[in-house]
Structure 1
Amino acid sequence: MILVTGATGFLGSELIKQLHGQGLRVRALKRSNSSIPPILLNLTDIEWFNADILDYFALEKAFEGITHVYHCCGLISFHSRDKKNMLRVNMEGTAYIVDLCLSHQITKLVHVSSVAALGDSKTNSPVIEKDIWEFNGTQHGYSISKYEGEMEVWRGIAEGLNAVIVNPSVIIGKNAGKEGSGKLFDLVRQGISYYTPGSLGLVDVEDVAKVMITLMESAITSERFIINSANWSYKNLFAEIAKRLNIPVPKKEISKFQLSAGLWLATLAALFTGKKQELTRDTVKSAFQNALYSANKLHQFFPNLTLKPIAVSINEITDHFRTS
């Protein structure tokens, strides 16, 4: 039987949908207060198991009869107040999964990391798997937590665990709604007039799940793979979304000073309203980075693998926005 952690998340639910479609038995891990995603509601033969990723003994029960594990559970936040909790979930939680995989002699683990755990390119070319992550005090908490989580997997590999790590770029898809990457689409839908000069890597959620299953079924172990369909500038991404939604295309490039001023106002508003601000120091920094990633290694290992063009994903997402 297959165990999937983070089963109610954006990626975890898509992964389970694809595994179920192949007729595989799945035990889906979720917290007791988490709701089952709509795309999984009609799949009655999924075995749901309530356990917190930080509850070792509950996790141990979830591992009974398990042979393969997909570790999708993770906390994503760019707020400094969440850093401590992110380190616990993304690092300590991963350590528990690795230890249980070893003690239960699991056949294979596929661990979901992030491009945030990769180092910066030293040649101004797209980042690859061999670029070494070096702490310099500028990394945000999410990056640190995902890097530390990877270190736990590599520790498990050194102790004899068969494992593969995937480093997806920004994962998009219609079922994200207005959360996570869906916020980018919703931001444009609301009618913003500006864009930032940075760029980012993008990949469809269906492709990430497909690659994970392919890696699980392969003999490959002790490797990590960037999963990235294409690198897009924020300018082109916002323009494509706006065109598909039949709204004005953002035409103004905002400066870092202007966005930083907006951060100050957002912080002030959060203090008075008590609401969690969406704009943070780390999101401002990310918006101005030219983040480029190469998936050449993945295609070298799987030359027949094709990833969905990002323009197609954007069409699917904007169509969903118009009808939902």
Structure 2
Amino acid sequence: MMTGRALVTGATGFVGANVVRLLLERGAEVRVLVRPGSPRTNVDGLPVELALGDLRDRDAVRRAVRGCRRVFHVAADYRFWARDPRELYASNVDGTVHVMDACLAEGVERVVHTSTVGTVGLSALPTPCDETTPLARGQLTSHYKRSKLAGERAALAYVARGLAVVVVNPSAPVGAWDVKPTPTGRILVDFARGRLPAFVDTGLNVVHARDVAEGHLLAAERGRVGERYILGHRNMTLAEILAEVGAILGRPAPRVRLPYLAALAVGALDTAVSRLVTHRPPSVALEAVRMARRRMFFDAAKAVRELGLPQTPVRIAFEDALAWFGERGYLPRSGEGKAAWASR
């Protein structure tokens, strides 16, 4: 049972929506900070208090924080391409400062700041990386990662000023409420729709989205102030992910491996067209291809040991995600009216 009011920023997004639902299950009174024009599909019908405002609006953030015992700062501008990169820094850095300033001024007991494993170092060694792995030179190639690292460091700087901040670094969540969907969710959707004829040789750390939400609540209860916790589970190559999803869908996984240089060329061309012609996000962002060059393998042992982070099998995460996508029309449907992924 979690008592007192909790504020969740980013509640309309994937991770935030899961955090809100878990808080409500645990009996918390929940307030959510929502931009006036933001789609509210992920919070519609929930017994939450809406606080309208933007992270970039210092006064709106202060009003949202007022009266809250705990704050889960999940919101972020998550894009691999932006026509104006300054927008990412305005939300991910300045917005974070506004949240931390408000929490300090309003006497919030505990703040959980959601970062990303993209700020954790990647080693050339075959062993998975953890919170202690230093950032490799040239690793932060995107404005998204740079802005998230700057935001994470800004949040942790408030510890010295007396604010109880804990940082969580989710890996690649899979599960329900992935409305956009995320790049990992898009892999599942494209595969189910027959739009994934080839793949690149890369790897991810996959974790159930509900476990990530649980990790946020556990960080608020048990996390050590000033520490970072990787919220992850199983390291899988993309080929292994596709094989697992293929087994659920009852169809063979793609066997064509696309050379990295070919994928890089496609990403560079598509991103150039977006920047110079369409001014819309590219289908294949160059930064996403660059990220795929390294296997993003991580060790969540610290969160398991200190927080008690659950480790739900990835098969369940994939099944839950496909069920959610199927129920909401993301996936094709068979002639019997059942989702194609389920008609086996």
Paired residues for 1:76-95 under 5 Å: 76-95=78-97
Tell me how far 1:135 sits from its aligned partner.
5.3
Which of 285, 292, 304 does residue 299 from structure 1 map onto?
304
**1:195 touches 1:238 (CA, 8 Å); kept in 2?**
no
Which of 245, 263, 281 does residue 276 from structure 1 map onto?
281
Q: 1:31 to 1:159 in 2, by over 3 A?
A: same
Paired residues for 1:196-235 under 5 Å: 196-218=200-222, 220-235=224-239
Tell me how far 1:132 sits from its aligned partner.
2.4
Distance 2:40 2:280 in 1: 26
SS in 2 for 1:174: coil
Match of 1:62 in 2: 64
Tell me how far 1:25 sits from its aligned partner.
0.9
Distance 2:45 2:150 in 1: 36
- Per the normalisation by structure 1, the TM-score is 0.92
Distance 1:307 1:133 in 2: 26
Q: 1:195 to 1:167 in 2, by over 3 A?
A: same
SS in 1 for 2:87: helix
Which of 5, 13, 18 does residue 9 from structure 1 map onto?
13
Distance 1:264 1:227 in 2: 31
Q: 1:142 to 1:35 in 2, by over 3 A?
A: same
Q: Tell me how many residue pairs correspond in the alignment.
A: 321
Tell me how far 1:246 sits from its aligned partner.
3.0
Match of 1:29 in 2: 33
Match of 2:44 in 1: 41
The answer for unaligned runs of 5 or more in structure 1 is: none
> Which stretch shifts more, 180-189 or 220-229?
180-189
**1:169 touches 1:203 (CA, 8 Å); kept in 2?**
yes
Tell me how far 1:121 sits from its aligned partner.
2.4
Distance 2:12 2:130 in 1: 30
The answer for unaligned runs of 5 or more in structure 2 is: 330-344
> Which stretch shifts more, 275-284 or 150-159?
275-284
Match of 2:290 in 1: 285
Q: Does 1:131 align with 2:136?
A: no
SS in 1 for 2:177: helix
Which of 248, 255, 261 does residue 244 from structure 1 map onto?
248
Distance 1:269 1:87 in 2: 24
Paired residues for 1:306-317 under 5 Å: 306-317=310-321
Tell me how far 1:198 sits from its aligned partner.
0.8
Distance 2:98 2:293 in 1: 36
Paired residues for 1:54-203 under 5 Å: 54-121=56-123, 123-133=125-135, 136=138, 139-177=141-179, 179-180=181-182, 181-191=184-194, 192-203=196-207
Deviations 1:5-52 (A, max 9, x none): 1111111111111111122111111001123235x33323x1111010
Tell me how far 1:266 sits from its aligned partner.
2.8
Tell me how far 1:103 sits from its aligned partner.
1.3
% identical equivalent positions: 27
